[in-house]
């Protein structure tokens, strides 16, 4: 039996957009997301950023690196800010 695809919660997607509109850096949005999700997964983080900001998979990959590989706040801010 196949697992259904993960669909981001629209309330969280809207909050990510709101935080960005207020000038919060990507790392702050990631910290918010980490506090909201019960299951921490790089793939889920990517899905949220793609849903919120229309990012390509390639552009959103640093989001997973922040969670799973210890990519610093500064580096993820640099990588993601270039795509916004």
Summarize pLDDT for 18-47 with one digit per residue, the tens.
999 999 999 999 999 999 998 899 999 999
Q: Residue 3: which pLDDT band, with cuts at 50, 70 and 90?
A: low
pLDDT in tens, 8-17: 999 999 999 9
Rg (CA), the chain: 12
Please classify residue 4 by burial: count the beta carbons closer than 10 Å to its beta carbon, then call 0-12 exposed, 13-18 middle and 19+ buried: exposed
Q: How far apart are CA 69 and CA 29, in angstroms?
A: 17
Q: Residue 83: which pLDDT band, with cuts at 50, 70 and 90?
A: confident
Coil, helix or strand for 33?
Answer: helix
pTM: 0.90
- Ranges of each domain in the chain: 26-83
Dihedral pair phi/psi, residue 2, rounded to 5°? -85, 140
């Amino acid at each position: 039996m196949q697992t259904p695809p993960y669909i981001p919660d629209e309330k969280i997607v809207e909050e990510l957009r709101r935080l960005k509109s207020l000038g919060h850096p990507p790392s702050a949005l990631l910290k918010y997301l980490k506090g909201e999700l019960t299951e921490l997964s790089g793939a889920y983080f990517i899905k949220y950023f793609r849903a919120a900001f229309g990012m390509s998979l390639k552009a959103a990959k640093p989001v997973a690196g922040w969670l799973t590989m210890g990519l610093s706040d500064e580096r993820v801010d640099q990588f993601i800010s270039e795509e916004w």
